[in-house]
Chain A
Amino acid sequence: MNEDERLQDNALAAFTDRLLTGQWGAEEEHPPLADIVEALKRTLVPPPPPDRLRRHLHERIATEWARSSISPRRRSWIPSTHPLRRWSWAIALLAIALLATLLLPTNVAHVSGTAVGDSRVLILLAALLVMAVAIAAWRVSRR
Chain B
Amino acid sequence: MSILLETLSDEELARMTQTGDRAAFETLCDRYLPRVYGRLCALLPPEAVEDVTQEVFLAALRGIARYRGEALFHTWLSALIRHKVADYYRSQNRHPPTAPLDSVTEQQTASDAWEELSLVQVALSRLPVHYQEVLLMRFAEGLPFEQIARLLNLTLEATRSRYRRAVMAIAQEMETHRHTASKGSRSGS
A122 within 8 A of B: no
Question: What A residues does B53 contact at CB under 8 A?
Answer: 49, 53, 57
A61 and B19: CB pair below 8 A? no
Rounded to whole Å, the gap between the CB of B44 and the closest CB of chain A is: 11
Instruction: Choose one: B17, B113, B144, B164; the contact of A12 (CB below 8 Å).
Output: B164
Instruction: Known contacts A12-B167, A64-B58; decide if A17 and B144 are in contact (CB<8 Å).
Output: yes
Rounded to whole Å, the gap between the CB of A49 and the closest CB of chain B is: 4
A45 within 8 A of B: yes
B167 and A39: CB pair below 8 A? no
Number of interface residues of B (CB under 8 A): 50
B-contacting residues, A1-48, CB 8 Å: 1, 5-6, 8-10, 12-13, 16-17, 20, 33, 36-37, 39-48
A43 and B61: CB pair below 8 A? no
Question: What B residues does A50 contact at CB under 8 A?
Answer: 50
Which residues in B have some Cβ–Cβ distance to A below 8 Å? 17-20, 22, 25-26, 29-30, 33-34, 37-38, 41-42, 50, 53-54, 57-58, 61-62, 64-66, 68, 113, 116-117, 120-121, 124, 135-136, 138-140, 142, 144-145, 157, 160-161, 163-164, 167-168, 170-171, 174
Which residues in A have some Cβ–Cβ distance to B below 8 Å? 1, 5-6, 8-10, 12-13, 16-17, 20, 33, 36-37, 39-50, 53-54, 56-58, 60-62, 64-65, 68, 70-74, 81-82
